[in-house]
Each structure stands twice: as structure tokens, then as C-alpha cells.
Amino acid sequence: PAIHFSALVGWDLIQAYCTNNAYSIQQVLKKKFYALSAVSALIKYIVSIQNIIYAPNTVKIEFRNNYNFAVIHLEAVQSLEILCSLNKALPKFSLFDVMNKCVTPLGKKFLRANLLQPLYNIQKIEDRLMCVTELIADHTLLSKLQRILRKFKYVEYIINVCPGINDYEISQQAEKNLNYLLYLKHSLEILPELNIVLSLTSCSTLQTIKSKISKDSYACIQNLISELIHKDACCNHGFTSSNLQRCFA
């Protein structure tokens, strides 16, 4: 509803949730009426529908203009069958379904966002084209990368829970936190393997990703986790297996 689009409420929410070192971002957003209104409605949706409450000063906020992106009207999205097919007999015959070869949930969201707001920055398009060309030319490299990325199945849970506050009972919250800690441990243990595969690539975009996952901060987090739980503890599916791993941790 339009009542939730409020620039004043959006500004108050940004001041409450934005990290303390983001003063410059706050000054940029201070005069962005539509951006603040959108923030107000978005956080209202997250709190009311998804039942997620953010802790104060924990959300990293970035302001990005849409100068390098094209905006597609909703009617054009439907007519061009970008996300959904107009033929009910072929529901999986949209552009998104044809292009969707993603192996992670976040990858699917990224593809969907790029179809709705496609790039028209030539340099960035060429950089992505170089990545695709390199991966297509080396099927072994592509298979290795896909195999590793499939292991990052818990990243979305970690991203959602990091800045959040939950009103569960203490025992229930402790159980959930231990699950998330095992998810984080699992994801960090895969990074060295991903780093090795990315070292075989040459395009600038993949090398940039490699440099980001090679930072010492990930090793520091992994060391802190190893001090809290057993090094052999892992995350498993199933009620019995999950309980066993939590007890083992």
C-alpha cells in the first residue's frame, strides 16, 4: 500500500540500521526522496511478511544509480516473456527459464535481476562476455566450478540471518544459531577449493572474485569458529543427523 512509502520513515530506518561507518552514504541518501520511500516499504515488507528484524547498525547499505542499466516496463516484461511464458501449455518457455543454468539460489536471483534491469555499459558487458567465452572454451574448468558452487547451498541462509534478531526461546535460538554456525563453517571450508579453481582462469572478473575470497578475514573467522566447536562437526540434512552434529559440535 502507498501508506508504507514514506521518505521520513525511510530516513529514520536508514539511520537506525545502517552501519556506523556509512556516514557518507547517509548524506547521499538524505535528499533521495524516492529511494528513501522505497526503503521504507521494503523494510516494512521484510519485517511484516518475512518476520525478520534487523539489529541496529548492522546493515551495509550501498547507493547505486541506474545510469548503466536499462529499465524495462512491466508490460514489456510480460509481452517479451522475460520471466513468464504467455503460453500456459509451456510455462517453462520464458527467457529466464531458457537461460537459467544456475546451480545456486543466489545465482538465479542475480540472473533474474539482470534480465529485469539489463546492463548497457559496454565495458561490463564485454567483461562478462569474456568470462562466458573462457568457461565455454574449457568444459573441464566449467564442470569443476559448477561442482564447487553447488556446495554453497547455505550462503543465502547466512546472509539473511547475520544482521537479524529473532524472538525465539533461548533453547530454540541456540539450536538455530548452532545450525547457522555449521552452515558458515561449511561455506568457509569450500573457499580454498574455489580459490584453486579460479586460479586457473584468466579473465579479469573471475580474478577479481578470486582476490576477494582470498582475504585473510575469512581465515580469521574460520579460526574463531574452530575455537567454539569441534573441527570435525558438519551440517547434515535430516532431523536425526542434524541433532547428532549439533551434539558433536
**Is 206 part of a structural domain of the chain?**
yes
- 111-127 pLDDT per residue, tens: 998 998 888 888 989 99
Residues 189 and 85 both lie in one domain: no
**Is 58 part of a structural domain of the chain?**
no
Quick one: what percent of the chain has pLDDT higher than 70?
86
Residues 221 and 244 both lie in one domain: yes
pTM tops 0.75: no
Mean per-residue pLDDT over the chain, rounded: 83
**Is 93 part of a structural domain of the chain?**
yes
Residue 230 has pLDDT above 90, yes or no: no
**Is 244 part of a structural domain of the chain?**
yes
Beta strands 53-54 and 164-165 are antiparallel
Name the phi and psi angles at 144, rounded to 5: -65, -45
pLDDT band at 227 (very low <50, low <70, confident <90, very high): confident
H/E stretch holding 41 reads helix 33-48
Residue 248 has pLDDT above 60, yes or no: no
**Can you read off the three cell numbers belonging to residue 198?**
579460479
Residues 95 and 140 both lie in one domain: no
Residues 242 and 154 both lie in one domain: yes
Residues 109 and 129 both lie in one domain: no
Give me the number of domains the chain comprises: 3
Residues 214 and 173 both lie in one domain: yes
Name the phi and psi angles at 119, rounded to 5: -70, 145
Residues 76 and 173 both lie in one domain: no
- 62-105 pLDDT per residue, tens: 877 777 788 788 888 999 999 998 888 888 889 999 999 999 98
β-bridge partners, 53? 165
DSSP class of residue 55 equals P
**Is 54 part of a structural domain of the chain?**
no
Residues 182 and 222 both lie in one domain: yes
- 197: nearest Cα among 125, 243, 247, 135: 135
Residue 22 has pLDDT above 80, yes or no: no
**Is 176 part of a structural domain of the chain?**
yes
Q: Which residue range is the domain that position 100 belongs to?
A: 66-120
Residues 152 and 74 both lie in one domain: no
β-bridge partners, 54? 164
